[in-house]
Amino acid sequence: MTELLSGFSATTQPQFWVAVLQIIWINVLLSGDNAIVIAMACRQLPKRQRVAGIVLGTVAALVLRLIFASIVVTLMLIPWVKMAGGVALLWIAAKLLMPTEDPSEEDAAAAHGLWRAIGVIAVADVVMSLDNVIAVAAAADGNIALLVFGLAISIPAIVGGATLIAALINRFPLIVWAGGALLGWIAGDVLASDPVIVDAVKGLGAGAHEKIKLTCAIVGMAGVLIAGYVGRARLARQTS
């Protein structure tokens, strides 16, 4: 609490507001993929719940991002953590490619869908936001109040981006597949960045790890698209 109060006392300093602008800009630049996840996760919600899902999902994601800001560097160094995160993101990407459920579902089912969407957004954001967290934490330079304020100010930009993408998804369903491909690419990249993989390829020469990251990203992207296609085809056969 003392750190938080002392942090807010610095709001009169020009450096504080410069850092706030840096944090906002970092989030705008690095949160495009997060906005896609939010939009895809909420696209199946009834229109009256879509905005609530986007806002609550974004807030939940940023709160988790704030919590992990102090420990994310340590987490990144633990073997298998990134690999587990990459696998989780692959599963999320494939699930997001599944078709919209019956719009005639009851309110209770819709509410369940709202909380499911918020959970998907929060988990995906934790996996995808390592770069965001590191950049924001560096800009805050240990000032907790600055970190909280900067992330809070970033919410409207992420919500706005997600709302726009959600609207475009309804008009151009191909965006769903493009979003799934992007998430698969990111998942493959996260998998290949795990310390276990990095240590295993050290003896293969310069550039070997970058080639492996590229290969994993391509495989992740292709795997998600194939899984989405197979899942949709199977569901179509079951409903026909």
Give the DSSP letter of residue 9: G
- Do 224 and 180 touch, CB atoms closer than 8 A? yes
> How many contiguous H segments (helices) and E segments (strands) does the chain have?
12, 0
Number of C-alpha atoms within 13 angstroms, CB side, residue 200?
10
**pTM greater than 0.75 (yes/no):** no
- Do 121 and 61 touch, CB atoms closer than 8 A? yes
- Do 51 and 59 touch, CB atoms closer than 8 A? no
15's tokens: 């450096």
Give the DSSP letter of residue 173: T
Q: What is the per-residue pLDDT for 107?
A: 45
Give the DSSP letter of residue 240: -
**Within the chain, what is the greatest distance between any pair of CA atoms?**
65
- Per-domain residue ranges for the chain? 2-239
Q: What is the per-residue pLDDT for 222?
A: 96
Please give the full DSSP string across 192-234, using - where no structure is assigned. Answer: HTSHHHHHHTGGG-TTHHHHHHHHHHHHHHHHHHHHHHHHHHH
Q: What is the pLDDT along the chain (240 residues), one digit of tens a residue?
A: 444 444 445 555 677 777 777 776 666 666 667 778 888 888 777 777 888 888 888 888 777 777 766 565 566 567 887 788 788 888 888 888 886 554 444 444 455 677 778 788 777 776 776 656 656 666 666 676 776 776 676 677 777 778 788 778 878 878 889 888 988 998 898 889 888 888 888 878 778 889 999 999 999 999 999 999 998 888 888 876
Q: What is the per-residue pLDDT for 78?
A: 77
Please give the full DSSP string across 64-112, using - where no structure is assigned. Answer: HHHHHTTTHHHHHTSTTHHHHHHHHHHHHHHHHTSPPPPTT--HHHHHH
Indicate the length of the chain as a whole number: 240
- The number of beta carbons lying within 10 Å of the beta carbon of residue 105 is 13
Q: What is the per-residue pLDDT for 106?
A: 41
129's tokens: 């936001």
**CA dist., res. 47 & res. 52, Å (int):** 9
